[in-house]
């Protein structure tokens, strides 16, 4: 299994006019809680110690869980990656340089139910967006389903790790 050098970057932004914008001061502020991952090589990180937000060597993600709060509402998002799809994305993005430090960006606009994943490295003008057909997404708001990606096909209760 290949190892890559990346860290997760959680961005709470507003999706407006087909682009991502920063929240204004009067907007409700999102507060990140934690992130967990399971990799295709069988390893996982559920330590909640901030290690996933620092550059580290890891394989390709298989599952990601992210939790955050907006006001008194609690959100949780669960991403499942297709092995072949994420392999193609990582192989194309990293090429022959898997040790390149990369930002694995997770953009969230819960209000507009817009979620986006992207990879970014120094020298690129814009992050490379990961197409939605590479992953499946399920989002809960206060323990009730709030969003489900069109291609979602996970079995019931799959988000329970």
Residue 119 has pLDDT above 80, yes or no: yes
Task: Check residue 69 and give its pLDDT.
Answer: 95
Task: Check residue 161 and give its pLDDT.
Answer: 64
In angstroms, the first-to-last Cα distance of the chain is 23
67, 34 Cβ separation under 8 angstroms? yes
Q: How far apart are CA 103 and CA 12, in angstroms?
A: 15
Burial of 108 (0-12, 13-18, 19+ CB in 10 A): buried
Q: List all residues 6 or more positions away from 130 whose beta carbon is below 8 Å from its beta carbon.
A: 86, 89, 116, 117, 118, 119
Burial of 90 (0-12, 13-18, 19+ CB in 10 A): buried
- The per-residue pLDDT for range 44-55, each reduced to its tens digit, is 898 888 899 999
3-state SS assignment for residue 16: strand
- The per-residue pLDDT for range 14-33, each reduced to its tens digit, is 888 888 988 776 666 889 99
Q: What is the pTM of this model?
A: 0.92
- The per-residue pLDDT for range 64-110, each reduced to its tens digit, is 999 999 989 999 999 999 999 999 999 999 988 888 999 999 999 99
Compute the chain's Rg from CA coordinates: 15
Task: Check residue 126 and give its pLDDT.
Answer: 93
Place of tokens 């993600």: 61
Task: Check residue 40 and give its pLDDT.
Answer: 92
Q: Residue 155 carries which DSSP code?
A: P
| pLDDT above 90 coverage of the chain, percent | 70
Domain boundaries, the chain: 4-148
Residue 127 has pLDDT above 80, yes or no: yes
Query: Which residue intervals of 13-134 are DSSP H helices?
Result: 83-94
| pLDDT above 70 coverage of the chain, percent | 95
3-state SS assignment for residue 23: coil
Task: Check residue 133 and give its pLDDT.
Answer: 94
Task: Check residue 75 and give its pLDDT.
Answer: 97
């Amino acid at each position: 299994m290949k190892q890559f050098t990346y860290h997760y970057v959680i961005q709470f932004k507003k999706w407006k006019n087909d682009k991502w914008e920063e929240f204004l001061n009067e907007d409700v502020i999102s507060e990140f809680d934690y992130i967990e991952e399971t990799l295709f090589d069988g390893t996982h990180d559920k330590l909640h110690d901030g290690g996933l937000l620092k550059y580290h060597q890891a394989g390709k993600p298989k599952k990601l869980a992210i939790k955050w709060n907006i006001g008194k509402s609690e959100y949780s998002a669960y991403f499942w990656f297709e092995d072949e799809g994420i392999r193609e994305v990582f192989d194309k993005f990293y090429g022959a340089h898997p040790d390149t430090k990369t930002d694995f960006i997770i953009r969230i606009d819960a209000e507009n139910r817009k979620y986006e994943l992207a990879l970014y490295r120094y020298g690129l003008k814009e992050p490379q967006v990961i197409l939605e057909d590479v992953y499946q997404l399920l989002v809960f708001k206060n323990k009730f389903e709030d969003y489900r990606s069109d291609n979602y096909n996970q079995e019931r209760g799959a988000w329970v790790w």
